[in-house]
Structure 1
Amino acid sequence: MAATGLTRLTREAEVAQVIEVIERDGGVIIEGMLRSETLEGLRSDLLPLLEKTPTGKDAVFDGQKTRRLSRLFARTRHVADIAMDPLFYDAAMHFVSRPMETWHGGQMHTAAPGLQLGMTQAIQIAPGEGNQPLHRDDGVWSWRHPCERQARLQIMVAVSEFTAENGGTLVVPGSHKWDDRRKPELSEAIPTEMSAGSALLWIGSTFHAGGTNRTADQFRTGLTMSLDNATLRQEENHYLSLSPDVVRSYPERIQRLLGWASGANHMGWVEIAGQMADPNELLHGATFD
Protein backbone atom coordinates (compact mmCIF):
# COMPACT_ATOMS: atom_id res chain seq x y z
CA MET A 1 0.00 0.00 0.00
CA ALA A 2 1.30 3.43 -0.90
CA ALA A 3 2.04 5.81 1.98
CA THR A 4 -0.47 8.36 0.68
CA GLY A 5 -3.34 5.90 0.31
CA LEU A 6 -4.36 2.96 -1.79
CA THR A 7 -1.97 1.68 -4.44
CA ARG A 8 -2.53 3.20 -7.87
CA LEU A 9 -2.11 1.41 -11.18
CA THR A 10 -2.62 2.71 -14.70
CA ARG A 11 -4.99 1.61 -17.42
CA GLU A 12 -2.07 -0.30 -18.97
CA ALA A 13 -1.57 -2.52 -15.90
CA GLU A 14 -1.68 -6.30 -16.25
CA VAL A 15 -4.51 -8.20 -14.60
CA ALA A 16 -1.91 -10.05 -12.53
CA GLN A 17 -0.80 -6.72 -11.04
CA VAL A 18 -4.39 -5.82 -10.14
CA ILE A 19 -4.86 -9.19 -8.47
CA GLU A 20 -1.60 -8.92 -6.54
CA VAL A 21 -2.48 -5.53 -5.05
CA ILE A 22 -6.05 -6.53 -4.15
CA GLU A 23 -4.84 -9.74 -2.50
CA ARG A 24 -2.47 -7.64 -0.37
CA ASP A 25 -4.56 -4.53 0.39
CA GLY A 26 -8.18 -5.49 -0.37
CA GLY A 27 -8.52 -2.80 -3.03
CA VAL A 28 -6.75 -0.83 -5.75
CA ILE A 29 -7.23 2.37 -7.77
CA ILE A 30 -6.97 2.19 -11.57
CA GLU A 31 -6.18 5.64 -12.92
CA GLY A 32 -7.80 6.60 -16.22
CA MET A 33 -9.70 3.33 -16.46
CA LEU A 34 -12.53 4.63 -18.65
CA ARG A 35 -12.22 5.83 -22.22
CA SER A 36 -13.25 9.49 -22.56
CA GLU A 37 -16.26 8.59 -24.72
CA THR A 38 -17.50 6.13 -22.08
CA LEU A 39 -17.19 8.73 -19.32
CA GLU A 40 -18.98 11.38 -21.35
CA GLY A 41 -21.68 8.89 -22.33
CA LEU A 42 -22.30 8.01 -18.68
CA ARG A 43 -22.56 11.68 -17.79
CA SER A 44 -24.92 12.41 -20.64
CA ASP A 45 -27.20 9.47 -19.86
CA LEU A 46 -27.20 9.48 -16.05
CA LEU A 47 -26.73 13.02 -14.73
CA PRO A 48 -30.14 14.27 -15.99
CA LEU A 49 -31.78 11.22 -14.39
CA LEU A 50 -29.97 11.75 -11.09
CA GLU A 51 -31.25 15.33 -10.98
CA LYS A 52 -34.80 13.93 -10.93
CA THR A 53 -34.06 11.17 -8.42
CA PRO A 54 -35.19 11.77 -4.82
CA THR A 55 -32.65 11.57 -2.03
CA GLY A 56 -32.67 8.70 0.44
CA LYS A 57 -34.71 8.65 3.63
CA ASP A 58 -32.39 6.51 5.75
CA ALA A 59 -29.97 8.67 7.73
CA VAL A 60 -27.90 5.63 8.73
CA PHE A 61 -27.02 3.95 5.42
CA ASP A 62 -28.72 5.32 2.29
CA GLY A 63 -28.24 8.93 3.29
CA GLN A 64 -30.68 11.81 3.31
CA LYS A 65 -28.61 13.90 0.90
CA THR A 66 -27.61 11.07 -1.41
CA ARG A 67 -29.28 10.09 -4.68
CA ARG A 68 -29.16 6.47 -5.88
CA LEU A 69 -30.12 5.38 -9.38
CA SER A 70 -30.30 1.66 -10.20
CA ARG A 71 -31.46 -0.43 -13.23
CA LEU A 72 -28.44 0.99 -15.05
CA PHE A 73 -28.45 -1.52 -17.91
CA ALA A 74 -31.86 -0.11 -18.87
CA ARG A 75 -30.60 3.47 -18.64
CA THR A 76 -27.23 3.58 -20.36
CA ARG A 77 -25.43 1.26 -22.77
CA HIS A 78 -22.06 2.45 -21.48
CA VAL A 79 -22.23 0.26 -18.37
CA ALA A 80 -21.49 -2.72 -20.61
CA ASP A 81 -18.00 -1.30 -21.28
CA ILE A 82 -17.31 -1.36 -17.54
CA ALA A 83 -18.62 -4.89 -16.99
CA MET A 84 -16.57 -6.24 -19.90
CA ASP A 85 -13.33 -4.46 -18.99
CA PRO A 86 -10.63 -7.15 -18.55
CA LEU A 87 -9.12 -5.48 -15.48
CA PHE A 88 -12.51 -5.85 -13.77
CA TYR A 89 -13.90 -9.01 -15.37
CA ASP A 90 -10.72 -11.09 -15.36
CA ALA A 91 -9.85 -10.07 -11.81
CA ALA A 92 -13.37 -11.09 -10.76
CA MET A 93 -12.88 -14.49 -12.38
CA HIS A 94 -9.77 -14.95 -10.23
CA PHE A 95 -11.32 -13.91 -6.93
CA VAL A 96 -14.93 -15.03 -7.33
CA SER A 97 -15.13 -17.91 -9.80
CA ARG A 98 -12.49 -20.26 -8.48
CA PRO A 99 -13.05 -23.89 -9.55
CA MET A 100 -13.75 -26.61 -7.03
CA GLU A 101 -13.32 -30.36 -7.29
CA THR A 102 -16.12 -32.70 -6.19
CA TRP A 103 -16.82 -36.39 -6.64
CA HIS A 104 -19.47 -37.44 -9.19
CA GLY A 105 -19.75 -41.14 -8.74
CA GLY A 106 -16.29 -42.57 -9.32
CA GLN A 107 -14.85 -39.49 -11.05
CA MET A 108 -13.55 -36.19 -9.78
CA HIS A 109 -15.43 -33.31 -11.41
CA THR A 110 -14.18 -29.71 -11.56
CA ALA A 111 -16.61 -26.80 -11.91
CA ALA A 112 -16.48 -23.07 -11.29
CA PRO A 113 -19.50 -21.04 -10.15
CA GLY A 114 -19.14 -18.37 -12.83
CA LEU A 115 -19.99 -14.68 -12.50
CA GLN A 116 -23.15 -12.63 -12.39
CA LEU A 117 -23.90 -8.94 -12.08
CA GLY A 118 -25.03 -8.41 -8.53
CA MET A 119 -25.94 -4.73 -8.32
CA THR A 120 -25.67 -1.48 -10.29
CA GLN A 121 -26.04 2.04 -8.96
CA ALA A 122 -25.12 5.59 -9.78
CA ILE A 123 -24.57 7.33 -6.44
CA GLN A 124 -24.44 11.11 -5.99
CA ILE A 125 -23.44 12.48 -2.58
CA ALA A 126 -24.48 16.09 -1.98
CA PRO A 127 -22.74 18.66 0.25
CA GLY A 128 -23.54 18.13 3.90
CA GLU A 129 -23.99 14.35 3.70
CA GLY A 130 -22.31 12.33 6.45
CA ASN A 131 -20.37 9.11 6.00
CA GLN A 132 -21.93 5.67 5.85
CA PRO A 133 -21.12 3.12 8.55
CA LEU A 134 -18.11 1.03 7.59
CA HIS A 135 -19.36 -2.29 6.23
CA ARG A 136 -18.54 -5.32 4.10
CA ASP A 137 -20.72 -5.81 1.03
CA ASP A 138 -20.63 -9.60 1.29
CA GLY A 139 -22.65 -9.19 4.47
CA VAL A 140 -25.80 -9.41 2.32
CA TRP A 141 -25.13 -13.18 2.21
CA SER A 142 -23.96 -13.43 5.85
CA TRP A 143 -20.50 -14.33 4.49
CA ARG A 144 -18.03 -15.40 7.18
CA HIS A 145 -14.42 -14.19 7.56
CA PRO A 146 -11.67 -14.85 6.97
CA CYS A 147 -12.86 -16.60 3.83
CA GLU A 148 -11.23 -19.02 1.42
CA ARG A 149 -12.97 -17.46 -1.57
CA GLN A 150 -14.57 -14.11 -2.27
CA ALA A 151 -18.25 -13.59 -3.02
CA ARG A 152 -17.79 -10.31 -4.90
CA LEU A 153 -15.48 -7.94 -6.73
CA GLN A 154 -16.89 -4.43 -6.87
CA ILE A 155 -15.98 -1.35 -8.85
CA MET A 156 -16.64 2.33 -8.14
CA VAL A 157 -16.05 4.53 -11.19
CA ALA A 158 -15.50 8.23 -10.56
CA VAL A 159 -18.01 10.08 -12.77
CA SER A 160 -16.89 13.27 -11.02
CA GLU A 161 -13.67 13.90 -9.14
CA PHE A 162 -13.38 12.01 -5.82
CA THR A 163 -11.62 13.84 -2.97
CA ALA A 164 -11.23 13.48 0.79
CA GLU A 165 -13.50 16.51 1.19
CA ASN A 166 -16.38 15.62 -1.15
CA GLY A 167 -17.09 12.09 0.05
CA GLY A 168 -14.55 9.91 -1.76
CA THR A 169 -15.21 6.27 -0.82
CA LEU A 170 -13.59 5.27 2.47
CA VAL A 171 -11.59 2.02 2.43
CA VAL A 172 -9.88 0.14 5.28
CA PRO A 173 -6.83 -1.47 3.62
CA GLY A 174 -6.05 -4.97 4.85
CA SER A 175 -9.46 -5.46 6.46
CA HIS A 176 -10.27 -8.31 4.05
CA LYS A 177 -7.94 -10.45 6.19
CA TRP A 178 -9.75 -9.75 9.47
CA ASP A 179 -12.08 -12.15 11.24
CA ASP A 180 -15.67 -11.22 12.07
CA ARG A 181 -14.94 -10.12 15.61
CA ARG A 182 -12.60 -7.27 14.75
CA LYS A 183 -14.39 -3.91 14.69
CA PRO A 184 -13.40 -1.39 12.00
CA GLU A 185 -12.63 2.13 13.18
CA LEU A 186 -13.21 5.25 11.10
CA SER A 187 -9.65 6.33 11.91
CA GLU A 188 -8.40 3.28 9.95
CA ALA A 189 -10.26 4.27 6.77
CA ILE A 190 -8.54 6.02 3.87
CA PRO A 191 -10.58 8.28 1.54
CA THR A 192 -10.41 7.42 -2.15
CA GLU A 193 -9.06 10.36 -4.14
CA MET A 194 -9.17 10.00 -7.91
CA SER A 195 -9.94 11.94 -11.06
CA ALA A 196 -13.06 11.40 -13.13
CA GLY A 197 -12.71 8.28 -15.26
CA SER A 198 -10.58 6.47 -12.70
CA ALA A 199 -11.93 3.56 -10.67
CA LEU A 200 -11.65 1.82 -7.32
CA LEU A 201 -11.80 -1.99 -7.26
CA TRP A 202 -12.31 -3.86 -3.99
CA ILE A 203 -13.45 -7.28 -2.82
CA GLY A 204 -16.57 -8.00 -0.79
CA SER A 205 -14.66 -8.70 2.42
CA THR A 206 -13.03 -5.24 2.55
CA PHE A 207 -14.56 -2.70 4.93
CA HIS A 208 -15.55 0.53 3.18
CA ALA A 209 -18.16 3.31 3.22
CA GLY A 210 -19.33 6.40 1.41
CA GLY A 211 -17.44 9.39 2.78
CA THR A 212 -18.60 12.69 4.29
CA ASN A 213 -19.13 15.54 1.83
CA ARG A 214 -17.72 18.57 3.62
CA THR A 215 -17.75 20.87 0.60
CA ALA A 216 -20.15 23.73 0.03
CA ASP A 217 -20.98 23.05 -3.62
CA GLN A 218 -19.40 19.80 -4.91
CA PHE A 219 -21.57 16.80 -5.78
CA ARG A 220 -19.58 13.56 -5.69
CA THR A 221 -20.94 11.25 -8.39
CA GLY A 222 -19.85 7.65 -8.86
CA LEU A 223 -21.07 4.53 -10.61
CA THR A 224 -20.75 1.18 -8.90
CA MET A 225 -21.45 -2.41 -9.94
CA SER A 226 -20.44 -5.81 -8.68
CA LEU A 227 -19.46 -9.12 -10.23
CA ASP A 228 -20.58 -11.86 -7.86
CA ASN A 229 -20.47 -15.61 -7.42
CA ALA A 230 -23.21 -16.86 -9.75
CA THR A 231 -24.54 -19.37 -7.23
CA LEU A 232 -25.66 -16.54 -4.90
CA ARG A 233 -28.87 -14.57 -5.09
CA GLN A 234 -28.40 -11.30 -6.97
CA GLU A 235 -28.59 -8.26 -4.72
CA GLU A 236 -30.43 -6.25 -7.41
CA ASN A 237 -33.30 -8.19 -8.97
CA HIS A 238 -32.43 -7.86 -12.66
CA TYR A 239 -35.14 -10.36 -13.64
CA LEU A 240 -37.82 -7.85 -12.60
CA SER A 241 -36.02 -4.58 -13.34
CA LEU A 242 -34.88 -5.44 -16.90
CA SER A 243 -37.24 -6.73 -19.57
CA PRO A 244 -36.19 -9.68 -21.77
CA ASP A 245 -36.03 -7.27 -24.73
CA VAL A 246 -33.51 -5.05 -22.91
CA VAL A 247 -31.41 -8.08 -21.93
CA ARG A 248 -31.61 -9.48 -25.48
CA SER A 249 -30.18 -6.23 -26.88
CA TYR A 250 -26.82 -6.83 -25.16
CA PRO A 251 -24.01 -9.22 -26.15
CA GLU A 252 -24.39 -12.76 -24.84
CA ARG A 253 -21.73 -12.32 -22.14
CA ILE A 254 -23.76 -9.45 -20.65
CA GLN A 255 -26.97 -11.51 -20.95
CA ARG A 256 -25.35 -14.27 -18.93
CA LEU A 257 -23.95 -11.86 -16.36
CA LEU A 258 -27.46 -10.50 -15.86
CA GLY A 259 -28.61 -13.98 -14.88
CA TRP A 260 -29.88 -15.49 -18.12
CA ALA A 261 -27.56 -18.47 -17.85
CA SER A 262 -26.88 -21.75 -16.11
CA GLY A 263 -23.22 -22.32 -15.33
CA ALA A 264 -21.04 -25.37 -15.35
CA ASN A 265 -22.65 -26.33 -12.05
CA HIS A 266 -26.15 -26.13 -13.66
CA MET A 267 -27.48 -23.47 -11.31
CA GLY A 268 -30.49 -21.62 -12.74
CA TRP A 269 -31.66 -24.05 -15.43
CA VAL A 270 -35.18 -23.96 -16.89
CA GLU A 271 -37.24 -26.73 -18.47
CA ILE A 272 -37.43 -26.40 -22.26
CA ALA A 273 -38.96 -29.22 -24.30
CA GLY A 274 -38.70 -31.59 -21.36
CA GLN A 275 -35.01 -30.90 -20.79
CA MET A 276 -33.10 -28.99 -18.09
CA ALA A 277 -31.87 -26.21 -20.37
CA ASP A 278 -29.83 -23.01 -20.30
CA PRO A 279 -32.25 -20.04 -19.90
CA ASN A 280 -30.19 -18.09 -22.42
CA GLU A 281 -32.01 -20.14 -25.07
CA LEU A 282 -35.19 -18.24 -24.21
CA LEU A 283 -33.57 -15.05 -25.53
CA HIS A 284 -32.88 -16.71 -28.88
CA GLY A 285 -36.14 -18.28 -29.99
CA ALA A 286 -36.72 -21.19 -27.60
CA THR A 287 -40.11 -21.41 -25.85
CA PHE A 288 -41.51 -23.38 -22.94
CA ASP A 289 -44.05 -25.17 -25.14
Structure 2
Amino acid sequence: MHATVDDTVPTGKVMIGSFDATSATADELVKSLIENGGCFIRNLVDREAVAAMLKQVQPYLDADVPWEGEFFPKETRRVNGLPAKAPLYTEKVLAHPLYVEVSKRLLTTTSTSWVGDKKETYESLPQLNSTSVFAIGPGARAQGLHRDDILHHTNLPKITAEQYTPGRDTALGIFMAASKITTANGATRFIPGSHLDDSTHGPGDEKKVVFAEMEPGDVFLMLASCYHGGSANTTTDQTRTLFGSFMCRGYLRQEENQFLANPIEEVRKMPENIQRMIGYSVSKPYCGWVDLKDPISFVRDVEVKYGDP
Protein backbone atom coordinates (compact mmCIF):
# COMPACT_ATOMS: atom_id res chain seq x y z
CA MET A 1 0.00 0.00 0.00
CA HIS A 2 1.51 3.32 -1.01
CA ALA A 3 -0.79 5.58 1.01
CA THR A 4 0.53 7.27 4.12
CA VAL A 5 -1.32 9.02 6.92
CA ASP A 6 -1.21 12.66 6.01
CA ASP A 7 0.54 14.59 8.74
CA THR A 8 -1.09 17.88 7.72
CA VAL A 9 -4.50 16.69 8.93
CA PRO A 10 -5.07 17.79 12.56
CA THR A 11 -5.48 15.16 15.26
CA GLY A 12 -9.10 14.08 15.62
CA LYS A 13 -9.96 14.79 11.98
CA VAL A 14 -10.72 12.16 9.36
CA MET A 15 -7.43 11.00 7.87
CA ILE A 16 -7.48 11.25 4.09
CA GLY A 17 -5.12 9.44 1.77
CA SER A 18 -1.72 10.85 0.84
CA PHE A 19 0.18 9.12 -1.99
CA ASP A 20 3.58 9.58 -3.57
CA ALA A 21 3.45 10.27 -7.30
CA THR A 22 6.27 7.83 -8.02
CA SER A 23 4.39 4.83 -6.63
CA ALA A 24 0.67 5.69 -6.52
CA THR A 25 -1.74 3.63 -8.60
CA ALA A 26 -5.10 4.53 -10.07
CA ASP A 27 -6.69 1.75 -8.01
CA GLU A 28 -5.49 3.32 -4.76
CA LEU A 29 -6.58 6.81 -5.76
CA VAL A 30 -10.06 5.72 -6.83
CA LYS A 31 -10.53 3.77 -3.58
CA SER A 32 -9.41 6.76 -1.52
CA LEU A 33 -11.72 9.14 -3.40
CA ILE A 34 -14.70 6.83 -2.94
CA GLU A 35 -14.02 6.57 0.79
CA ASN A 36 -13.37 10.24 1.60
CA GLY A 37 -14.07 12.32 -1.52
CA GLY A 38 -10.52 13.67 -1.71
CA CYS A 39 -6.86 12.63 -1.53
CA PHE A 40 -3.35 14.00 -2.04
CA ILE A 41 -0.69 13.07 -4.57
CA ARG A 42 2.65 14.38 -3.37
CA ASN A 43 5.39 15.55 -5.76
CA LEU A 44 3.37 15.13 -8.94
CA VAL A 45 5.36 17.98 -10.53
CA ASP A 46 8.93 19.05 -9.74
CA ARG A 47 9.61 22.61 -8.60
CA GLU A 48 11.43 23.59 -11.78
CA ALA A 49 8.30 22.75 -13.81
CA VAL A 50 6.09 24.61 -11.32
CA ALA A 51 8.25 27.71 -11.74
CA ALA A 52 7.97 27.42 -15.53
CA MET A 53 4.17 27.12 -15.29
CA LEU A 54 4.02 30.24 -13.13
CA LYS A 55 6.15 32.10 -15.66
CA GLN A 56 3.62 31.25 -18.37
CA VAL A 57 0.63 32.60 -16.42
CA GLN A 58 2.21 35.53 -14.54
CA PRO A 59 1.45 38.16 -17.22
CA TYR A 60 -2.23 37.19 -17.06
CA LEU A 61 -2.27 37.31 -13.24
CA ASP A 62 -0.67 40.76 -13.34
CA ALA A 63 -3.35 41.97 -15.77
CA ASP A 64 -6.32 40.67 -13.76
CA VAL A 65 -8.61 42.99 -11.79
CA PRO A 66 -10.68 42.38 -8.61
CA TRP A 67 -13.86 40.30 -8.88
CA GLU A 68 -17.06 42.33 -8.68
CA GLY A 69 -19.19 40.18 -6.39
CA GLU A 70 -19.09 37.96 -3.32
CA PHE A 71 -17.72 34.63 -4.56
CA PHE A 72 -14.03 35.65 -4.82
CA PRO A 73 -12.27 37.98 -2.35
CA LYS A 74 -11.02 41.24 -3.85
CA GLU A 75 -7.45 40.13 -3.06
CA THR A 76 -7.75 37.23 -5.53
CA ARG A 77 -6.27 37.28 -9.01
CA ARG A 78 -7.32 34.67 -11.56
CA VAL A 79 -6.35 33.19 -14.92
CA ASN A 80 -8.57 30.92 -17.02
CA GLY A 81 -8.23 29.25 -20.42
CA LEU A 82 -5.11 27.37 -19.34
CA PRO A 83 -4.67 24.96 -22.27
CA ALA A 84 -3.63 27.94 -24.42
CA LYS A 85 -2.03 30.08 -21.69
CA ALA A 86 -0.25 27.39 -19.68
CA PRO A 87 0.58 24.51 -22.06
CA LEU A 88 3.16 23.07 -19.66
CA TYR A 89 0.53 22.73 -16.91
CA THR A 90 -1.86 21.17 -19.41
CA GLU A 91 0.77 18.63 -20.46
CA LYS A 92 2.16 17.71 -17.04
CA VAL A 93 -0.96 17.92 -14.85
CA LEU A 94 -4.17 17.69 -16.87
CA ALA A 95 -2.72 15.04 -19.16
CA HIS A 96 -0.84 13.20 -16.40
CA PRO A 97 -1.56 9.47 -16.75
CA LEU A 98 -2.82 9.16 -13.15
CA TYR A 99 -5.35 11.99 -13.48
CA VAL A 100 -6.45 10.79 -16.91
CA GLU A 101 -6.98 7.22 -15.68
CA VAL A 102 -8.78 8.18 -12.45
CA SER A 103 -11.03 10.55 -14.41
CA LYS A 104 -11.87 7.77 -16.87
CA ARG A 105 -12.75 5.35 -14.09
CA LEU A 106 -15.00 7.76 -12.22
CA LEU A 107 -16.50 9.83 -15.06
CA THR A 108 -16.80 7.56 -18.11
CA THR A 109 -20.42 6.87 -19.03
CA THR A 110 -21.40 3.64 -20.78
CA SER A 111 -24.90 2.99 -22.04
CA THR A 112 -26.73 0.60 -24.31
CA SER A 113 -29.53 1.36 -26.72
CA TRP A 114 -31.44 -0.34 -29.50
CA VAL A 115 -31.36 0.85 -33.10
CA GLY A 116 -33.97 -1.27 -34.81
CA ASP A 117 -33.16 -4.85 -33.92
CA LYS A 118 -29.50 -4.13 -33.15
CA LYS A 119 -28.30 -3.48 -29.60
CA GLU A 120 -25.49 -0.90 -29.45
CA THR A 121 -23.11 -0.01 -26.60
CA TYR A 122 -21.73 3.54 -26.39
CA GLU A 123 -18.93 4.98 -24.27
CA SER A 124 -18.68 8.69 -23.42
CA LEU A 125 -15.23 9.68 -22.12
CA PRO A 126 -14.54 12.63 -19.77
CA GLN A 127 -13.78 16.10 -21.08
CA LEU A 128 -12.15 19.21 -19.63
CA ASN A 129 -14.67 21.17 -17.60
CA SER A 130 -12.79 24.22 -16.28
CA THR A 131 -9.28 25.59 -15.71
CA SER A 132 -8.10 28.33 -13.34
CA VAL A 133 -5.17 29.79 -11.47
CA PHE A 134 -5.95 31.52 -8.18
CA ALA A 135 -3.43 33.84 -6.52
CA ILE A 136 -4.94 34.87 -3.18
CA GLY A 137 -3.19 37.71 -1.40
CA PRO A 138 -2.88 38.65 2.29
CA GLY A 139 -6.10 39.73 3.95
CA ALA A 140 -8.45 37.73 1.71
CA ARG A 141 -11.55 36.47 3.52
CA ALA A 142 -12.65 32.85 3.57
CA GLN A 143 -14.83 31.57 0.75
CA GLY A 144 -18.16 29.97 1.62
CA LEU A 145 -18.23 26.18 1.57
CA HIS A 146 -19.86 24.94 -1.63
CA ARG A 147 -20.07 22.00 -4.03
CA ASP A 148 -18.77 22.42 -7.56
CA ASP A 149 -21.36 20.06 -9.02
CA ILE A 150 -24.06 22.69 -8.49
CA LEU A 151 -23.63 23.84 -12.09
CA HIS A 152 -24.83 20.43 -13.30
CA HIS A 153 -27.94 20.56 -11.08
CA THR A 154 -27.16 17.31 -9.27
CA ASN A 155 -29.67 15.88 -6.82
CA LEU A 156 -28.03 13.00 -4.98
CA PRO A 157 -29.36 10.83 -2.14
CA LYS A 158 -27.35 10.03 0.98
CA ILE A 159 -25.35 6.79 0.66
CA THR A 160 -22.44 4.96 2.28
CA ALA A 161 -19.00 4.52 0.73
CA GLU A 162 -19.85 0.87 0.13
CA GLN A 163 -22.85 1.97 -1.96
CA TYR A 164 -20.85 4.43 -4.07
CA THR A 165 -20.58 3.53 -7.74
CA PRO A 166 -18.88 5.40 -10.59
CA GLY A 167 -21.61 7.45 -12.19
CA ARG A 168 -22.68 9.34 -9.08
CA ASP A 169 -20.36 12.33 -9.61
CA THR A 170 -20.36 14.66 -12.60
CA ALA A 171 -16.81 16.02 -12.20
CA LEU A 172 -13.40 15.44 -10.63
CA GLY A 173 -11.10 18.27 -9.59
CA ILE A 174 -7.33 18.53 -9.39
CA PHE A 175 -5.68 21.36 -7.44
CA MET A 176 -1.92 21.87 -7.82
CA ALA A 177 0.07 23.95 -5.35
CA ALA A 178 2.22 26.55 -7.10
CA SER A 179 3.40 27.96 -3.77
CA LYS A 180 3.64 26.57 -0.25
CA ILE A 181 0.03 26.33 0.88
CA THR A 182 -0.82 26.49 4.58
CA THR A 183 -3.90 26.97 6.70
CA ALA A 184 -2.67 30.48 7.50
CA ASN A 185 -2.35 31.61 3.86
CA GLY A 186 -5.67 30.19 2.68
CA ALA A 187 -5.48 26.42 2.11
CA THR A 188 -8.65 24.89 0.68
CA ARG A 189 -10.79 23.56 3.49
CA PHE A 190 -12.65 20.39 2.68
CA ILE A 191 -15.24 18.19 4.40
CA PRO A 192 -14.28 14.52 4.01
CA GLY A 193 -17.23 12.29 3.25
CA SER A 194 -19.52 15.11 2.15
CA HIS A 195 -19.74 13.49 -1.31
CA LEU A 196 -21.87 10.80 0.32
CA ASP A 197 -24.42 13.22 1.80
CA ASP A 198 -27.81 14.24 0.47
CA SER A 199 -27.41 17.09 -2.05
CA THR A 200 -30.09 19.13 -0.27
CA HIS A 201 -28.11 19.24 3.00
CA GLY A 202 -25.85 22.18 3.82
CA PRO A 203 -22.21 21.85 4.88
CA GLY A 204 -23.05 21.99 8.58
CA ASP A 205 -20.38 22.35 11.25
CA GLU A 206 -17.10 23.82 9.95
CA LYS A 207 -15.28 21.88 12.67
CA LYS A 208 -15.44 18.91 10.29
CA VAL A 209 -13.11 20.50 7.73
CA VAL A 210 -9.54 19.49 6.99
CA PHE A 211 -7.10 21.82 5.24
CA ALA A 212 -5.39 20.92 1.98
CA GLU A 213 -1.88 22.00 2.95
CA MET A 214 0.67 21.32 0.22
CA GLU A 215 4.19 21.95 -0.99
CA PRO A 216 4.74 23.26 -4.55
CA GLY A 217 4.08 20.44 -7.01
CA ASP A 218 1.69 18.53 -4.73
CA VAL A 219 -1.89 18.05 -5.89
CA PHE A 220 -5.22 17.46 -4.19
CA LEU A 221 -7.88 15.43 -6.01
CA MET A 222 -11.52 16.05 -5.07
CA LEU A 223 -14.92 14.87 -6.24
CA ALA A 224 -17.14 17.78 -7.28
CA SER A 225 -19.89 16.73 -4.85
CA CYS A 226 -17.67 17.55 -1.83
CA TYR A 227 -18.12 20.69 0.24
CA HIS A 228 -15.01 22.85 0.08
CA GLY A 229 -13.85 26.49 -0.08
CA GLY A 230 -10.76 28.64 0.11
CA SER A 231 -9.74 29.76 3.59
CA ALA A 232 -8.89 33.25 4.78
CA ASN A 233 -5.34 34.42 4.09
CA THR A 234 -4.40 35.69 7.53
CA THR A 235 -0.76 36.36 6.65
CA THR A 236 0.70 39.78 5.90
CA ASP A 237 3.25 38.74 3.28
CA GLN A 238 2.21 35.48 1.57
CA THR A 239 0.22 34.86 -1.61
CA ARG A 240 -1.37 31.44 -2.00
CA THR A 241 -1.12 30.37 -5.66
CA LEU A 242 -3.08 27.36 -6.84
CA PHE A 243 -3.86 25.82 -10.24
CA GLY A 244 -7.33 24.28 -10.17
CA SER A 245 -9.15 22.32 -12.88
CA PHE A 246 -11.99 19.84 -13.31
CA MET A 247 -12.86 17.08 -15.74
CA CYS A 248 -16.54 16.31 -16.27
CA ARG A 249 -18.68 13.74 -18.04
CA GLY A 250 -18.39 13.93 -21.80
CA TYR A 251 -22.07 14.61 -22.49
CA LEU A 252 -22.43 17.54 -20.05
CA ARG A 253 -22.06 21.21 -20.82
CA GLN A 254 -18.60 22.43 -19.77
CA GLU A 255 -18.38 25.05 -17.02
CA GLU A 256 -15.72 26.99 -18.94
CA ASN A 257 -16.42 27.47 -22.63
CA GLN A 258 -13.25 25.86 -23.94
CA PHE A 259 -13.94 26.80 -27.56
CA LEU A 260 -13.84 30.54 -26.81
CA ALA A 261 -11.33 30.40 -23.95
CA ASN A 262 -8.65 28.82 -26.16
CA PRO A 263 -7.99 30.52 -29.53
CA ILE A 264 -8.35 28.11 -32.43
CA GLU A 265 -4.86 28.94 -33.76
CA GLU A 266 -3.41 27.82 -30.40
CA VAL A 267 -5.60 24.72 -30.28
CA ARG A 268 -4.26 23.63 -33.68
CA LYS A 269 -0.74 23.49 -32.19
CA MET A 270 -1.77 21.14 -29.37
CA PRO A 271 -1.33 17.35 -29.28
CA GLU A 272 -4.40 15.38 -30.30
CA ASN A 273 -5.04 14.02 -26.80
CA ILE A 274 -5.27 17.60 -25.46
CA GLN A 275 -7.50 18.72 -28.33
CA ARG A 276 -9.89 15.87 -27.63
CA MET A 277 -9.80 16.55 -23.88
CA ILE A 278 -10.76 20.18 -24.51
CA GLY A 279 -13.84 19.04 -26.41
CA TYR A 280 -12.85 18.55 -30.03
CA SER A 281 -14.31 15.07 -30.00
CA VAL A 282 -17.62 13.25 -30.11
CA SER A 283 -19.27 11.96 -26.96
CA LYS A 284 -20.64 8.77 -28.41
CA PRO A 285 -23.01 8.16 -29.94
CA TYR A 286 -23.77 11.60 -31.44
CA CYS A 287 -22.97 14.48 -29.06
CA GLY A 288 -20.63 17.21 -30.29
CA TRP A 289 -20.38 16.72 -34.05
CA VAL A 290 -19.85 19.43 -36.68
CA ASP A 291 -21.44 18.81 -40.08
CA LEU A 292 -22.10 15.27 -38.85
CA LYS A 293 -18.35 14.70 -38.45
CA ASP A 294 -15.92 14.33 -35.55
CA PRO A 295 -14.68 17.92 -34.87
CA ILE A 296 -11.07 16.74 -34.56
CA SER A 297 -10.87 17.23 -38.34
CA PHE A 298 -11.26 21.00 -37.82
CA VAL A 299 -8.07 21.26 -35.74
CA ARG A 300 -5.97 18.44 -37.20
CA ASP A 301 -5.07 17.45 -40.73
CA VAL A 302 -7.03 14.22 -40.66
CA GLU A 303 -9.77 12.97 -42.91
CA VAL A 304 -13.03 12.22 -41.11
CA LYS A 305 -15.82 10.78 -43.21
CA TYR A 306 -19.54 10.75 -42.64
CA GLY A 307 -20.63 7.62 -40.86
CA ASP A 308 -21.85 6.06 -37.68
CA PRO A 309 -19.59 6.47 -34.60
Corresponding residue of 2:152: 141
Aligned partners of 1:89 and 1:227 also within 8 Å: no
Aligned Cα RMSD in Å?
Answer: 1.8
- 1:107 and 1:163 map into 2 onto residues whose CA distance is 56
What pairs with 1:46-125 in structure 2 (closer than 5 Å)?
46-58=57-69, 60-80=70-90, 81-125=92-136
More deviation in 3-12 or 183-192?
A: 3-12
Corresponding residue of 1:162: 181
Structure 1 residue aligned with 2:297, among 266, 269, 281?
281
Corresponding residue of 1:41: 52
Corresponding residue of 1:222: 242
Give the counterpart letter for 1:137 in structure 2: D
Corresponding residue of 1:202: 222
Give the counterpart letter for 1:149 in structure 2: R
- 2:272 and 2:89 map into 1 onto residues whose CA distance is 15
Corresponding residue of 1:28: 39
Aligned partners of 2:16 and 2:32 also within 8 Å: no
Aligned partners of 1:6 and 1:192 also within 8 Å: no
- 1:248 is aligned to 2:268: yes
Structure 1 residue 235, shift from structure 2 partner: 0.8
Gaps (5+ residues) in structure 2? Answer: 158-163, 305-309
Structure 1 residue 212, shift from structure 2 partner: 1.0
Instruction: Describe the superposition over 1:89-136 as per-residue Cα deviations: whole angstroms up to 9, x where unpaired.
Output: 110001111322333333332222211111111001111111111111
Gaps (5+ residues) in structure 1? Answer: none
Give the counterpart letter for 2:128 in structure 1: L
Aligned partners of 1:8 and 1:31 also within 8 Å: yes
Corresponding residue of 1:258: 278
Q: What fraction of aligned residue pairs are identical, expressed as a percent?
A: 28
Give the counterpart letter for 2:180 in structure 1: E
TM-score (norm: length of structure 2):
0.86
TM-score (norm: length of structure 1):
0.92
- 2:285 and 2:209 map into 1 onto residues whose CA distance is 38
